[in-house]
Amino acid sequence: MKQLACVITAVVLAAATQPASAHHSFAAQYDAKQHVALKGVVTKVEWTNPHARFYIDEKNDQGEVTSWNFEMASPNVLLRNGWKRTSLKIGDQVTVTGYLARVGPPAGPKMAIAESLTAADGTKMFASTATDLSR
């Protein structure tokens, strides 16, 4: 009977950990072969779980604007890596590298995951964990 209780406990614990590992994988959502490097102006910042997001408008040489939605690490991870809610503000000029989403929304900003973020003054800012970017 004691062995059965141990087996049941092990199965329950294993099942309880599945939601954490079931979190979307990089490869399912983003394309490691589609690296992007963009300069733009921050238009919106979302400090929400499970991932913080920021939006930029990128202007090309012809003056056409493309809006982008970048996923980052969770707010908690960002805080542990030196971020504050005010680290990224609307109007900030930034350079972002990351990876394009496999499937973008039918309308609205293009989607990507941010790998690195550099402020206009050259300050490099943490954007995503190795786990977020694991390919």
Per-residue pLDDT of the chain (135 residues; tens, 9 = 90+): 666 544 454 444 444 444 444 456 766 678 888 899 999 999 999 999 999 999 999 999 999 999 999 999 999 989 998 899 999 999 999 999 999 998 877 778 899 999 999 999 999 988 876 666 665
What is the Cα–Cα distance from 38 to 25, expressed in whole angstroms?
23
pLDDT at 15: 44
In the numeric block, which tokens belong to residue 42? Answer: 């921050």
Report yes or no on 107 lying in a domain.
yes
Report yes or no on 18 lying in a domain.
no
Nearest to 85 by CA among 131, 116, 54: 54
pLDDT at 7: 43
Residue type, 76: N
| Residue 40 lies in domain | 24-126
**CATH code where residue 43 lies:** 2.40.50.140
Report yes or no on 17 lying in a domain.
no
Report yes or no on 47 lying in a domain.
yes
Report yes or no on 11 lying in a domain.
no
DSSP element (H, E) containing 25: none
C-alpha distances out from residue 55 to 2, 14, 47, 70, 92, Å: 55, 37, 12, 6, 11
Report yes or no on 132 lying in a domain.
no
Report yes or no on 43 lying in a domain.
yes
Report yes or no on 74 lying in a domain.
yes
Q: How many domains are contained in the chain?
A: 1
Beta-strand ranges (E) seen in 19-72 are 30-46, 53-59, 65-71
Helices of type H across the chain: 2-21, 26-29, 75-80
User: What backbone torsions phi and psi does residue 18 show, to the nearest 5 degrees?
Assistant: -60, -40
In the numeric block, which tokens belong to residue 41? Answer: 């102006």
